[in-house]
Amino acid sequence: MPTKKQKLEWLIAALREDFNWWVIEVSEDIPWDLDSLGILDPKQWSYVVDLLDPLREYGLDMDMVEDAFIPFGIDKDLGDQKIRMVKANESLFGSEEILFILPDVMDDDETGPYADFLDHITKLRVQLLNDLIDFEQNMSTSELEEDLRDELNNQYFEGKNLHYFTEITSILEYTPAGYSLDEDGEQSTGEEEEIVDEIPDLQEAEEESIPQDETMKWEEEEEKEEEEGLEEATSPPDLPEEEADPK
* DSSP assignment letter at 183: T
Q: Is 222 inside a domain boundary?
A: no
Dist CA 165 CA 21 (whole Å): 10
Q: Is 200 inside a domain boundary?
A: no
Read off φ and ψ for residue 99, nearest 5 degrees: -120, 140
Q: Is 217 inside a domain boundary?
A: no
Query: 137 is in which domain, residue-wise?
Result: 4-179
What are 205-230's pLDDT values in tens digits? Answer: 334 444 454 545 555 555 555 555 55
What pLDDT band is residue 243 in, cutting at 50, 70 and 90?
A: very low
Tell me the CA distances in angstroms from 187 to 102, 134, 182, 195, 228, one per residue in order.
34, 8, 7, 16, 61
Split into its structural domains, the chain has a count of: 1
The reported pLDDT for the residue numbered 224 is 59
Whose CA is closest to 5, among 63, 93, 69? 69
Taking the model in full, what pTM does it have?
0.69
Dist CA 189 CA 208 (whole Å): 33
What are 50-99's pLDDT values in tens digits? Answer: 999 999 999 999 999 999 999 999 999 999 999 999 999 988 988 888 99
DSSP secondary structure string, 59-88? T--HHHHHHHEEEEEEEEEEETTEEEEEE-
Q: Is 221 inside a domain boundary?
A: no
